[in-house]
Amino acid sequence: DTGVSQDPRHKITKRGQNVTFRCDPISEHNRLYWYRQTLGQGPEFLTYFQNEAQLEKSRLLSDRFSAERPKGSFSTLEIQRTEQGDSAMYLCASSLWASGSGNEQFFGPGTRLTVL
Amino acid sequence: AQKVTQAQTEISVVEKEDVTLDCVYETRDTTYYLFWYKQPPSGELVFLIRRNSFDEQNEISGRYSWNFQKSTSSFNFTITASQVVDSAVYFCALSEADFGNEKLTFGTGTRLTIIP
C-alpha cells in the first residue's frame, strides 16, 4: 500500500527538547498539509506545501515550529524548545492538486507527541 | 471566517438502528467544498465523501447517505442499519478553494458508539 506514512508514530520528550517528525505523502501528490489535533478536537491546519514551496502558515505555527519539503517529496516538521502545550497528534495529509479544486486529502496515521 | 459546528458530541445507538450526524457550516465564499471523514480508534482519518457548493443532490453509498441543504447551511450524514464497525469519531470539514489553499476546517467531531 502506498498511502501516507508518518514517522515516528509516538514521541515522548522532555520540555525544552527539539523534535522532528517526518511525513511521506502518496508519491504522485503535489500538495502536502500538516495539521495538529488535540484531545476531543478536530484537526487544525498548520501549514501546506505545493511541491517544495511552503505557501501558507497558520498563526498557530509559532516561530518554534518549522517545516520543510526540500525535494517536493517527503516533509519534516520540527519543533524547537518543546512546551507541554505542544502535546498533540500531528497529522500529515497529501492531495493531488491540478486545475480543479476541492481535492480530497488523504491522511497519514499521525505522530502522537507527549511533552513531559 | 469559516466555521463548522457539530453540536452532537457523542451518540450511542443500538446496532441496526439508523443514526444521523449533524453538521452546520459557515462561510462567506460562494465556492466551497464539504467533506466527511471517519476516525476509527486506530486514529487515521478516512475520507468518506466530498460535495461542492453547486451540487445539492443527495448522495447514497451503501448504508451511508448525505443530505446537503444550502438554505440551512447543513450537510448531514445518515448511517442506515448501523453496525459495530461504524463506531468511530466522525468529522465534518469545509474547504474554501478561492485562493488555492484547500486547507480543511474541521468541526469538533461526533463520537458514535454502536452497541451490539
pLDDT (tens digit per residue) in B52-82:
888 888 888 899 999 999 999 999 999 999 9
Tell me whether residues A102 and B52 touch, CB distance under 8 A: yes
Pair type for strands B64-69 and B19-21: unpaired
Residues 6+ apart with CB under 8 A from B19: B11, B13, B78, B79, B82, B112
CA distance, residue A6 to nearest chain B CA (Å): 11
Give pLDDT tens digits along chain A (116 positions): 579 999 999 999 999 999 999 999 999 899 999 999 999 999 999 999 999 999 989 988 889 999 999 988 999 999 999 999 999 999 999 998 876 666 889 999 999 999 99
CA distances (Å), A43 to each of A92, B39, B42, B75, in order?
A: 10, 11, 15, 19
Residues in chain B: 116
User: Number of residue pairs across A and B with CB atoms under 8 Å?
Assistant: 66
A89 touches chain B (CB under 8 A): yes
Helix (H, G, I), strand (E, B) or coil at B116: coil
CA distances (Å), A30 to each of A4, A52, A66, A74, A89, in order?
A: 13, 9, 19, 10, 23
CA distance, residue A7 to nearest chain B CA (Å): 14
Q: What are phi and psi of A47, to 5 degrees?
A: -165, 165
Question: HSE on the CB side for A39, CA within 13 Å?
Answer: 5
C-beta of residue A76 within 8 angstroms of C-beta of residue A17: no
Share above pLDDT 90 across residues of chain B, in percent, rounded to a whole number: 74
Q: CA A37, B112, B109, B37 torsion: positive or negative?
A: positive
Residue B97 pLDDT more than 80? no
Mutate to test the interface with A, among B24, B55, B104 (most CBs of A within 10 A): B104
- For residue B91, the 8-state DSSP code is E
A57 touches chain B (CB under 8 A): no
Number of other residues whose CB lies within 10 A of the CB of residue B111: 15
